[in-house]
Amino acid sequence: MVNDNKDLKRLCKEYWLIENYDEAVNDNDNIWVCHHKREVQDGFRIWKKEELIKIGQYYNREPNELIFMKRSEHIALHNKAIDPKTKKPCSVRNTKGVNNGMYGKKGVNLGKKFSIETCNKLSNSKSPDWINNYGYTRRELEKLLPLTSAQIRYMHNTNKEKLKQIIKSTLGG
């Protein structure tokens, strides 16, 4: 499926003469794109779109410089093309640290290892509500009571008195 839009008219004034145009127009099942033959030649990426635009070779081209391709074939062609600078396929990109917001930054606790006692103190310091209400941290209660952690959290949020009674009867305190 190809739409006669402004972009296509900007690429080539006689776009109906571009190779595979009739097939692209009559195919309602696939998306077709117009590909510059100069971008990828003999398996090597020669030009990027931005480079062609910069040198004035992207728009107003002759029909023999363009070809209609199925979108999936177009993507595969560009991904398989070899980048002449890196000698690697264009699908291989340097993505190291792109998805990690902390990549290259130094965090406060980044790379520090804490002892078990320190971890327990940090955990207990973050839960004063539990200690004030029951005398135990949530993690300690999970180990001591015959309840799941979800049941303990639910009772803490809905019925604190009942949880205190269970603690008293189970732990005798």
Q: What is the pLDDT of residues 75-128, one digit of tens each?
A: 888 788 877 777 777 765 555 555 555 555 555 555 567 777 776 666 655 555
Rounded to an integer, what distance in angstroms lies between the CA atom of residue 90 and that of residue 49?
A: 14
Residue at 45 is within a domain: yes
Residue at 85 is within a domain: no
Final residue of a structural domain among 80, 107, 124: 80
Judge whether residue 44 has pLDDT over 60.
yes
Final residue of a structural domain among 80, 100, 124: 80
| Tokens of residue 64, six digits | 């023999």
The stretch 56-74 carries a mean pLDDT of 86
DSSP string, 26-80: H-SSS-EEEEETTTEETTEE---HHHHHHTT-SSS--GGGEEEEEHHHHHHHHHH
Do 18 and 71 sit in the same domain of this protein? Answer: yes
Residue at 48 is within a domain: yes
56 or 83: which carries more pLDDT confidence?
Answer: 56
Residue at 105 is within a domain: no
Q: Whole domain around residue 47: which residue ranges?
A: 6-80
What pLDDT is attached to residue 3?
57
Final residue of a structural domain among 80, 101, 126: 80
Q: What is the pLDDT of residues 119-164, one digit of tens each?
A: 666 665 555 566 666 677 777 777 777 877 778 778 877 888 888 8
Rounded to an integer, what distance in angstroms lies between the CA atom of residue 158 and that of residue 155?
A: 5
| Tokens of residue 60, six digits | 């107003």
What pLDDT is attached to residue 121?
66
